[in-house]
Amino acid sequence: MKNKDQLKEELESFNDLWKGGTTLVKQGWNRVSKERNIDAIYNICVHPYVNKDVTVLEIGCNGGGWTKKMLHAKKVIGFDALSARHTGFDVNIGKTNNVEYYQVKDFKCNELEDNSIDYVFSYDVFCHISYSGTEEYLKNLYPKVKKGANFFIMIADANKYTNKRSLQASANKAGFSTIKEYIDDYDGEAKGGRWFFYGTEKFCELLNKYMYNIVSRDVMGDLDPLSPTIHFIK
């Protein structure tokens, strides 16, 4: 398992990954492709759970593509490894009284008050966080959320990532010659926006370890043929 310095370096390595700004803002909300259906993700994972009485935590808010669809919440708290100016969040969202943005440098969640969060959403972020980093997040989030809080977190699972050509290209970019080496290194070095394929089984083991209750191991199913989104509650 990684030490604290390694975990800090991992989070800071997201700088290279996110410096292009949010793709959701650029692509709009009606995008449907062979990889993902943005509207379906919103309708299943966001719309039924976010309302005027809910405090939201979005992990990896980037430029605010998803955040824009949650502005009717009581409060929206955004975490990202980059500043709001760097991601474009401040321009895309503007000055909104119920939105807070934190540039985070670790997985400690010290920016949050205990027992304050009703709903947690993260898409296309935990797939870039190692197993150790993911465990730190899950452990540290537990006291920050209310009992019954809903989580929707997308992760990487090689059993669902069926595009082997793309997977091999991702492996090569991260410095691995084979897909197997890439997948087996699920707690390795975060570099170049690489993916970590610890998968659904290991992720759910962590949920059980930290006393979360699993609602669905893949709430999107075939609507997202690339990656599972896990729905769980405290």
Q: Is the pTM of this model over 0.75?
A: yes
Query: What per-residue confidence (pLDDT) applies to 7?
Result: 59
Question: Which token pair is 50?
Answer: 């976010």
Tens digit of each residue's pLDDT (9 = 90 or more) over 174-227: 999 999 999 999 999 887 778 999 999 999 999 999 999 999 999 999 888 889
Tokens of 15: 């700088």
Q: What confidence tens digit (pLDDT) does each residue in 128-141 have?
A: 999 999 999 999 99
State residue 4's pLDDT score.
Answer: 63
Tell me what pLDDT residue 75 has: 98
- In whole angstroms, give the CA distance from residue 220 to residue 230: 9
Q: Is 231 in contact with 122 (CB distance < 8 Å)?
A: no
CA distances from 26 to 29, 33, 90 (A): 9, 15, 15
Instruction: Order the strands of the 229-233 sheet from edge to edge.
Output: 99-103, 75-80, 55-59, 117-122, 145-154, 229-233, 213-216
75 CA to centre of own chain: 19
Q: Looking at the domain 4-161+199-233, which fold is it?
A: Rossmann fold (3.40.50)
Nearest to residue 83, comparing CAs of 95, 75, 91?
Answer: 91
